[in-house]
């Protein structure tokens, strides 16, 4: 045990003290976790959100019960109809709940709120409206709503947090990048607390159909098992995986230093012991195994750990042929003989791929897995002879987890890896 | 002369600027002070009114609008008669 003691002082140790999520499995983290743990799939066919005359696919992961137009809609966001703002604010409020009633300096709270596509839904809606009325004018809220940093702006406004604000946009790695940036702000002394994570809703024809044209999306045809059972459309690491399934979500984490958490008597959910971000410098869209491998190794090094210390890996696992093969190869190389003993899961089987938000929700899942000693399953899995690691198929697994890693990779060749440690107050 | 119900105009204003139901709208309502409409909201309100009733306001006219009655008057000048509230 003593070898696991952190060499860092309490003002440099980063801990998670709050989490919040909005996903297609639930409008809070608890409901989402219960869905994941029970092996439930959140994807469905929705021809109202994805009508056949506008979209090339009709299956996705949709949030219900939060967002513009839903009963009891958040009146504070009535003018800002972009869904990512509604989801992101809801998740931020949930993550910030442990701070209720505490005394802290609001000028020392940073908000790092990421997204890949921001308010494209409003941009699309306003463009269509303008065309239909034969005018060139778009609504006055279009620009402020479209901006990715508006999410941080709304969180700052509604939660009254006035410290540094950043809006990383790193495609499907955005959420993980936001967490890294949040931790750096704490270590750099620029903030005492950070709300960090990401939100996404990009169900507009131009984006969905462009992904489909790239052959990145699962296009489910009659005869496919998901044609009758849409919840099976996303199947990470599975022999019949055929692309990712787009979804919408938000995930936010409240981070602080161990020193601040102790000062305020906050419950620590897990410790962020290591992190890394790097760039492929290789291709606009294809993942690059060697650099992803470097990223994972850097996160281990940053954590001061040897590979065999990691018990669990929460994968990027998109359900595309190329990602899952590349990621499995990387894990074999980084973890060597230990790769076979690593319990790997991808929650994208259940939640689909929420693009920028995915890695934030995955980081939260990793934290919860450490807390509970429970790994949620990779659902919809059929073994692929080429991919022979332990993907924790179908059912949750209880096991003693000390350290876990979560990683994500984005178009543009950008990667991150985070290492979390089960919280033991030492 | 086209006749338009005042309630219809008020409803367009309410919807465009998301004005809560407990705030009453009348001709004398000032957009900023009484209805809580900021300059960005006002652009949206006027865009919605012009779209709904198919007319155009000039930039000079827009710059002088302070209350709902100003809009009623400009509509009246274009042959749109607003029915009594």
Indicate the pLDDT class of residue A107, thresholds 50, 70 and 90. very high
**Over residues A168-184, mean pLDDT:** 97
Which pLDDT band holds residue A29 (cuts at 50, 70, 90)?
Answer: very high
Using CB atoms within 10 A of its CB, is residue A223 exposed (0-12), middle (13-18) or buried (19+)? exposed
Q: Are B31 and B67 in contact (CB under 8 A)?
A: yes
Q: What is the pLDDT of residue A33?
A: 98
* Domains, chain A, ordered by start: 14-264 (3.40.47.10), 273-422 (3.40.47.10)
Interface test with A, best of B18, B19, B38, B54 (most A CBs within 10 A): B18
**Any A CB within 8 A of B20 CB:** yes
Q: How far is A79 from chain B (nearest CA, A)?
A: 7
The pLDDT value recorded for residue A94 is 98
Residue contact A140–B51, C-beta within 8 A: no
- What pLDDT is recorded for position B85? 63
Question: What pLDDT is stored for residue A73 in this prediction?
Answer: 73
pLDDT of residue A2: 42
> Six-digit token pair at B30?
């000032």
Instruction: Quote the CA–CA distance of A135 and B49 in Å, as a whole number.
Output: 13
Looking at CA atoms only, how far is residue A151 from chain B in angstroms?
19
CA distance A82 to A141: 10
Residue predicted with more confidence, A199 or B4: A199
CB distance A140–B18 less than 8 Å?
A: no
User: What are A59-90's pLDDT values in tens digits?
Assistant: 999 999 999 888 777 777 888 899 999 999 99
Please name the residue of chain A whose CA is at the shortest distance from the CA of residue B42: A140
- Report CB contact under 8 Å: B41, A139: no
Quick one: fold of B2-82? 1.10.1200
Q: Is the CB of residue A66 less than 8 Å from the CB of residue A90?
A: yes
For residue A276, pLDDT over 80 is answered with: yes
| A79/B18 touch (CB, cutoff 8 Å), yes or no | yes
Annotated catalytic residue B38: yes
Q: What is the mean pLDDT of chain B?
A: 92
> Is 50 exceeded by the pLDDT of residue A1?
no
Cβ neighbours for A344, distance < 8 A, ≥ 6 positions apart: A237, A312, A313, A314, A315, A317, A331, A378, A389, A390, A391, A392
Secondary structure of A324-348 as H, E, C letters: HHHHHHHHHHHHHHHHHHCEEECCH
Lowest pLDDT segment from A194-198, A286-290, A400-404: A286-290
Q: Which member of B27, B34, B38, B59 is catalytic?
A: B38
B45 vs A317: CA distance, rounded Å? 46
* Beta carbons of B47 and A137 less than 8 Å apart: yes
Residue of chain A whose alpha carbon sits nearest to that of B40: A140
CB contact under 8 A, A79 and B41: yes
pLDDT band at A4 (very low <50, low <70, confident <90, very high): low
Nearest residue of A to residue B20, measured between CA atoms = A75
- Shortest distance, CA A139 to any CA of chain B (angstroms): 6
Q: What is the mean pLDDT of residues A223-247?
A: 98
- Contact by Cβ (8 Å): A348, A41: no
CB-based contact B44 A75, cutoff 8 Å = no
Q: How confident is the model at residue A136 (pLDDT cuts 50, 70, 90)?
A: confident
Flag whether pLDDT at A3 surpasses 60.
Answer: no
Q: Cβ separation of A135 and B51 shorter than 8 Å?
A: yes
Q: Which of residues 103-162 of A touch B (CB under 8 A)?
A: 133, 135, 137, 139-141, 144
Is B59's Cβ below 8 Å from some Cβ in A?
Answer: no
Using the beta-carbon criterion (under 8 Å), do B20 and A137 form an inter-chain contact? Answer: no
Are A185 and A241 spatial neighbours (Cβ–Cβ below 8 Å)? no
A312 vs A374: CA distance, rounded Å: 10
**Is residue B51 within 8 angstroms of chain A, CB to CB?**
yes
**For A45-62, b where at least 16 C-beta lie within 10 A, e where not — what string?**
bbeeebeeeebebbbbbb
Question: Residue A406: which of A302, A257, A299 has the closest Cα?
Answer: A299
pLDDT, mean over chain A? 95
B51 contacts in chain A (CB < 8 Å): 133, 135
Nearest by CB to B18, which of A78, A137, A144? A78
Nearest CA in chain B to A133: B51
For residues A302 and A276, is the Cβ–Cβ distance under 8 A?
yes
What is the reported pLDDT for A11?
Answer: 84
Cβ atoms within 10 A of the Cβ of A382, count? 13
Q: What is the pLDDT of residue A426?
A: 76
Catalytic residue from among A24, A86, A172, A312 = A172
Average pLDDT of span A201-209: 97
pLDDT at A71: 78
ipTM higher than 0.90? no
Residue A141 with chain B: CB contacts under 8 Å: 40, 44
Strand partners, A398: A374
Q: Does B69 contact A at CB distance below 8 Å?
A: no
Sorted by sequence, the CB contacts under 8 Å of residue A346 that are 6+ apart come out as: A236, A237, A314, A315, A316, A317, A318, A319, A324, A378, A391
Residue pointed to by tokens 């939260």: A364
CB A145 within 8 A of CB A382: no
The closest alpha carbon to A361, from A133, A15, A26, belongs to A26
Instruction: For residue range A340-379, list pLDDT tens digits in order.
Output: 999 999 999 999 999 999 999 999 999 999 999 999 999 9
Average pLDDT for residues B29-39, to the nearest whole number? 94
């Amino acid at each position: 045990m003593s070898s696991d003691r952190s060499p860092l002082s309490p003002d440099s140790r980063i801990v998670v003290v709050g989490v919040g999520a909005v996903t297609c499995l639930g409008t809070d983290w608890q409901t989402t976790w219960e869905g994941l743990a029970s092996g439930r799939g959140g994807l469905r066919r929705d021809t109202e959100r994805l009508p056949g005359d506008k979209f090339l696919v009709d299956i996705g992961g949709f949030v219900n019960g939060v967002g513009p137009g839903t009963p009891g809609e958040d009146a504070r966001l009535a003018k800002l109809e972009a869904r990512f703002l509604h989801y992101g604010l809801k998740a931020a409020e949930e993550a910030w709940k442990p701070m209720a009633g505490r005394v802290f300096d609001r000028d020392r709270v940073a908000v790092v709120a990421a997204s890949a596509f921001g308010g494209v839904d409003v941009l699309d809606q306003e463009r269509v409206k303008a065309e239909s009325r034969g005018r060139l004018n778009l609504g006055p809220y279009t620009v402020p709503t479209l901006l990715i940093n508006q999410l941080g702006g709304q969180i700052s406004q509604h939660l009254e947090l006035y410290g540094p604000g950043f809006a990383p946009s790193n495609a499907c790695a955005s959420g993980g990048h936001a967490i890294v940036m949040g931790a750096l702000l704490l270590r750099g002394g620029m903030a005492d607390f950070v709300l960090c994570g990401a939100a996404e809703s990009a169900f507009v024809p131009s984006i969905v159909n462009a992904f489909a044209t790239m052959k990145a999306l699962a296009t489910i045809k009659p005869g496919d098992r998901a044609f009758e059972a849409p919840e099976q459309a996303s199947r990470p690491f599975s022999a019949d995986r055929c692309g990712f399934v787009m979804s919408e979500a938000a995930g936010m984490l409240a981070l602080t230093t161990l020193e601040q958490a102790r000062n305020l008597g906050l419950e620590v959910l897990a410790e962020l012991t290591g992190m890394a971000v790097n760039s492929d410098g290789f291709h606009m869209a294809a993942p690059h195994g060697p650099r992803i491998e470097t990223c994972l190794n850097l996160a281990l090094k940053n954590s001061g750990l040897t590979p065999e210390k990691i018990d669990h890996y929460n994968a990027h696992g998109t359900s595309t042929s190329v990602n899952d093969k590349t990621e499995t190869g990387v894990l074999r190389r980084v973890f060597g003989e230990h790769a076979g003993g690593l319990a790997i899961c991808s929650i994208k089987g259940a939640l689909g791929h929420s693009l920028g938000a995915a890695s934030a929700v995955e980081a939260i899942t990793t934290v919860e897995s450490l807390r509970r000693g429970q790994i949620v399953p990779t659902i919809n899995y059929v073994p692929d002879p080429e991919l022979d690691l332990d993907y924790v198929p179908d059912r949750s697994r209880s096991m003693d987890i000390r350290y876990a890693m979560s990683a994500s990779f984005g178009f543009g060749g950008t990667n991150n890896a985070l290492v979390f440690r089960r919280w033991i107050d030492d | 002369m086209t006749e338009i119900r005042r309630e219809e105009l008020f409803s367009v204003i309410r919807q465009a600027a998301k004005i809560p139901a407990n705030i009453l709208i009348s001709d004398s309502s000032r957009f900023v002070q009484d209805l809580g409409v900021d300059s960005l909201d006002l652009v949206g309100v006027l865009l919605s009114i012009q779209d709904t009733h198919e007319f155009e306001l000039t930039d000079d006219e827009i710059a002088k609008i302070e209350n709902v009655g100003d809009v009623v008057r400009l509509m009246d000048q274009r042959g749109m008669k607003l029915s009594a509230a």
